[in-house]
Amino acid sequence: MVTAGQALGVLWTLPNTLVGLLAGAAGLPFGARARFSRRDFAIVFQHWPWGPGGAITFGNSILHTGATLDADCVTYEHRAGLCRHPPIRLGDHERAHVLQYMVLGPLFLPVYLLSGGISVRNPFERAADRYAMTGRGWWPGAMADER
């Protein structure tokens, strides 16, 4: 069952979700497949044909170049050589971004880009990694970032 807060979050981030839906739909003729994931609270486009690999989230839509969000990946801090973390589930990381989008709505992308973009410096990425590792702390600063 969807709560009132979740419904408001979905509406608030709808402009971002539409960007993801348009990009995902553009990939359908090239092999992308769409499905709704209750677990990730998003429409997931798997086998999305463009990008360097991995996934990107726009509101309640996730564009993923692979076959499943159950794939393991490494954290941004691990990849940057700052520490060693066990592998995380890609879908858990992207779900944290879905939740972040639902809070910031159309403000998410500008705030995200001003916070460092796709990099280990970005507190939104570190929070998404933390959430994927622990199941808690998807909001930046919700728990102290560990280094």
pLDDT for residue 123: 97
Task: Tell me what pLDDT residue 56 has.
Answer: 97
3-state secondary structure of 8: helix
- For tokens 């970005």, what's the residue? 122
Average pLDDT, the chain: 94
The encoded tokens of residue 3 equal 């709560």
For the stretch 55-65, pLDDT in tens is 999 999 999 99
Below-50 pLDDT ranges, the chain: 145-147
pLDDT at 90: 96
pLDDT value for 79 = 87
The model's pTM: 0.93
In this structure, what are the phi and psi dihedrals at residue 52, rounded to the nearest 5 degrees? -80, -5
Query: How is residue 19 written in tokens?
Result: 């960007």
What confidence score (pLDDT) does residue 30 get? 98
